[in-house]
């Protein structure tokens, strides 16, 4: 099986590649990554020399590179995306370029070369906020940030390429991922690393925004499951039913790291901050997938990973990695 993964040096993409290479020794994986600030070669340093793995530095918006790499592939999985809401508020255009134009470029090449499956990896944030109940795959898309709007745009283009051109698209929408190798701008790794550094953690507003927390390995296993057993043209929500408020998560981390509430700093809420995300993943569970990890243990394992890999995140937070990448990858 010839597999192209885009954005494979990012958080979810790198965990997925490691999962696939470990589970399917007969698969060959090509990783296309632009190496933006969140694309870290250290994430896959341990498998760089795997004979079934190859890396190509490039942009999914570059039609020439994409066309060359998609040719001969069986499956394309699109993890490449700009993903941080705060950054999308500062620079929406960059998100539209990658998440919409880049997805379109991949779909065009996939259409040309008749790939067997195109997996569009997306997010529950495309549905917007919901006060009660949970979104299903049939729910309307009501994104509230430039980030979620750009992901919704990519999803809709992918859907249209399936309906109009017959490109074998499947869309996955997962809830909030957490785990090892997550760039320390997101809530969990930012809070963990701040606390390890003896710093305060910035909690938006009243801290009562609700998210469903999904361990990244569970998400990777779900995407793998969908890649092999999902139906073409379908959308699958991937959730773990671990709804927690941000302040609950914060207090769990404080307890785990032996800190008290004096480490909390409440800050002004960001514009368009969704109050609650909640997705119904019964469609996928009826096919046979279940999350494998208990939230409490996964959280402990995540904290332990950041404790044991301080060199990884300290390079990032200090800015040291930027000079390293400039010399070695640009």
Please give the DSSP secondary-structure letter assigned to residue 43: G
Question: Taking the CB of residue 305, how many other CB atoms lie within 10 A of it?
Answer: 17
- Beta strands 210-215; 243-245: pairing state: antiparallel
Q: Which of 125, 155, 221, 224 is catalytic?
A: 125
Q: Cα-flanking dihedrals φ and ψ of residue 85, to 5°? A: -55, -45
| Active-site option among 53, 127, 147, 306 | 147
Residue among 273, 96, 241, 107 nearest 174 (CA): 241
Count how many Cα atoms sit within 13 Å of the Cα of residue 191 in the half-sphere of its side chain.
Answer: 30
> What pairs with residue 32 in β-bridges?
6, 56
Q: Which of 63, 75, 295 has its CA nearest to residue 188?
A: 295
Read off the tokens for 246.
């941000």
* Active-site annotation holds for 125: yes
Surface-to-core class of residue 43, CB atoms within 10 Å of its CB (0-12 exposed, 13-18 middle, 19+ buried): buried
Q: Which residue has the tokens 């530095």?
A: 57
Residue 47 CB-density burial (10 A; 0-12 exposed, 13-18 middle, 19+ buried): middle
Residue with tokens 């119904």: 280
Q: Supply 182's token pair.
A: 């997550």
Contact 18, 79 (CB under 8 A): no
147 a catalytic residue: yes
User: Looking at 124, 155, 218, 224, which residue is catalytic?
Assistant: 124
* Residue 137 annotated to the active site: no
Is the Cβ–Cβ distance between 128 and 143 less than 8 Å? Answer: yes
Secondary structure class of 213 (helix, strand, coil)? strand
Residue numbers annotated as active site: 124-125, 147
């Amino acid at each position: 099986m010839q597999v192209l993964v885009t954005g494979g040096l990012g958080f979810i993409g790198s965990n997925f590649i490691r999962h696939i290479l470990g589970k399917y020794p007969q698969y060959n994986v090509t990783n296309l990554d632009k190496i933006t600030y969140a694309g870290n070669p250290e994430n896959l340093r341990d498998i760089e020399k795997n004979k079934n793995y190859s890396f190509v530095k490039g942009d999914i918006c570059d039609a020439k590179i994409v066309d060359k790499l998609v040719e001969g592939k069986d499956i394309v999985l699109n993890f490449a995306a700009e993903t941080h809401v705060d950054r999308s508020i500062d620079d929406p255009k960059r998100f539209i370029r990658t998440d919409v134009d880049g997805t379109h470029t991949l779909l065009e090449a996939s259409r040309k070369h008749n790939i067997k499956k195109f997996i569009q990896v997306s997010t529950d944030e495309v549905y917007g906020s919901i006060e009660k109940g949970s979104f299903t795959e049939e729910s309307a898309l009501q994104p509230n940030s430039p980030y979620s709007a750009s992901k919704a745009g990519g999803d809709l283009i992918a859907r249209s390429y399936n309906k109009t051109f017959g490109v074998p698209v499947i869309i996955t929408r997962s809830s909030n991922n957490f785990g090892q190798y997550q760039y320390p701008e997101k809530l969990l790794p930012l809070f963990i690393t701040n606390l390890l550094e003896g710093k305060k953690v910035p909690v938006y507003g009243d801290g009562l925004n609700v998210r469903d927390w999904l361990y990244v390995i569970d998400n990777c296993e779900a995407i793998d499951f969908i890649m092999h057993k999902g139906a073409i043209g379908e959308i699958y929500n991937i959730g773990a039913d671990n709804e927690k408020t941000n302040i609950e998560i914060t207090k769990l981390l404080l307890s785990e790291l032996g800190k008290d509430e004096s480490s909390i700093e409440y800050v002004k809420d960001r514009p368009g901050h969704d109050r609650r995300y909640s997705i119904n993943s019964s469609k996928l569970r009826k096919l046979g997938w279940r999350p494998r990890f208990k939230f409490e243990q996964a959280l402990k394992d995540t904290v332990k990973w950041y404790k044991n890999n301080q060199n990884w995140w300290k390079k990032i937070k200090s800015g040291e990695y930027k000079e390293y990448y400039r010399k070695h990858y640009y």
